Amino acid sequence: MTYPIGYLYPNEFAEPLVWLPVLFSYSLLISGADLLLLAFIAYLFNKFKRTVPVLLVVGLAFYTVVLLGPLADLRNPDRDPLLFSHAQVIPTEAHPGVSLIALQGAVMWPLGFILAALFTLLYFAPANYQRYLATRNPLRKVLSIGIKQHSLALKAFLKILAVVALVPMAFWAIYPASLFATQTSLFIWLNWHTLVPMYFADTFVVATAVAILAIWLYGVKKSQNELSSLLYIHGVAALSVIALLLLQMAIWNTSYGGSPFMSAASHIMEWFVPVIALYAITFGLSLAASRFLPLSLVVPFTGLVAAIVNKWNVIVRAQYALRSGLAFLEPGEEVLVHEVPIMASIVAAGIFLAIILSILFPLERGHD
């Protein structure tokens, strides 16, 4: 269809958003995979000993809720179970190729969930047994599954579980970005060359921010060494996002500078400036907090705000660029207003589940 601004695809008139903004909230909960990833790596290398319990509980809570992400990709909720019963993970003559949503939702998520849940149960089992001896609460005895201490055999098995679980967690950490990058009909995602590494670093900022907040809730004086390490990781992740955004800006200016395609790209790049500024503040505060501990309480909030603004730009605003890449449709407020309560409820579900898990598993005695 020819139009004054160029060629337009028919569905650009009817549906500017391919995926509803609700997926934005799922993208925040994807940080649960990074938290679990960090917990498994920490356990394998005997680091963050006091913070591993917090990383496991919050990570498992967020990761449990995040399954709703691929289910939400299916436009018919009543057909959601088909993701498991008819997952297209093996190419056939009738259906060539592999569904990324099916691979992640029907294979990687169940595998990751089982491994993470089993690891968490076994990791906290001795602590729950000690709680049972102190309180005689039968629930504690059930959760201890008869394990009284962190024996050499248990530690060896946990290390095996951690190594195996790294695979699905790594897949999930970049799932949204890989999903977006495969949408060849959307100009911005198709041409966002740094999308996958930028998204991974962005999500890692969210994960470490949540971990730092959790340490403050748990008791910052008990975990100062772990907090310093997390601040360093958080700062490096923030700096990585800055570098990747600057690189993407340079790529777009080089490729489309002076062409009609810059009309869409420039609307996305205009949000790069506040995001880069927020991440620069986060990086600076991360360095300063290593010397002045109270500043570490501010770091997660600046990091979260930066990640939220960046994710909104990547996930929601990017969908308003026409498939032709020749124009940008301003977001309609009437669409977003209806989505905000749903987005908030999804994040609240992850937080609520984290609270429940923190009651079931004694964080203060989780480490061996």
For the residues 140-160, what does the mean pLDDT come to? Answer: 89
Res 94 pLDDT > 80: no
Highest mean pLDDT among 93-97, 100-104, 243-247, 254-258: 243-247
Higher pLDDT pick, 11 / 237: 237
Those residues with Cβ within 8 angstroms of residue 132's Cβ, 6 or more apart along the chain or in another chain: 138, 140, 141, 144
In eight-state DSSP terms, residue 20 is -
Which pair of tokens denotes residue 324? 């032709």
Cα 191 from Cα 195, distance rounded (Å): 9
Percent of the chain whose predicted confidence (pLDDT) is above 70: 87
For the residues 93-107, what does the mean pLDDT come to? Answer: 77
Entry pTM: 0.84
- Is the four-CA dihedral 172, 178, 182, 183 of positive or negative sign? positive
Res 15 pLDDT > 60: no
Count, residues in the chain? 368
Report CA-CA distances (Å) from 303 to 28, 206, 297, 345: 12, 7, 11, 22
**Among 109, 130, 121, which Cα is nearest to 158's?**
121
C-beta of residue 366 within 8 angstroms of C-beta of residue 52: yes
Under DSSP, is residue 7 helix (H, G, I), strand (E, B) or coil? Answer: strand
- Is the four-CA dihedral 359, 22, 311, 102 of positive or negative sign? positive
The dihedrals phi and psi of 328, each to the nearest 5 degrees, come to: -130, 125
């993701």: which residue's tokens? Answer: 83
Strand partners, 7: 2
Sorting pLDDT into bands at 50, 70 and 90, what band is 3?
very low
The dihedral region occupied by 249, where left means phi > 0, alpha psi between -120 and 50, and beta the remainder, is alpha
Res 336 pLDDT > 90: no
Note the pLDDT of residue 163: 95
Those residues with Cβ within 8 angstroms of residue 258's Cβ, 6 or more apart along the chain or in another chain: none
Note the pLDDT of residue 365: 58
Which pair of tokens denotes residue 255? 């490729």
Note the pLDDT of residue 72: 61
Res 338 pLDDT > 90: no
Strand partners, 321: 328
> Contacts by 251-257 with C-beta closer than 8 Å and gap 24+?
251/193, 251/194, 252/191, 255/191
Per residue in 155-199, pLDDT (tens digit) is 999 999 999 999 999 888 888 888 787 766 778 888 898 998 998
Over the chain, what is the mean pLDDT?
A: 83
Note the pLDDT of residue 2: 44
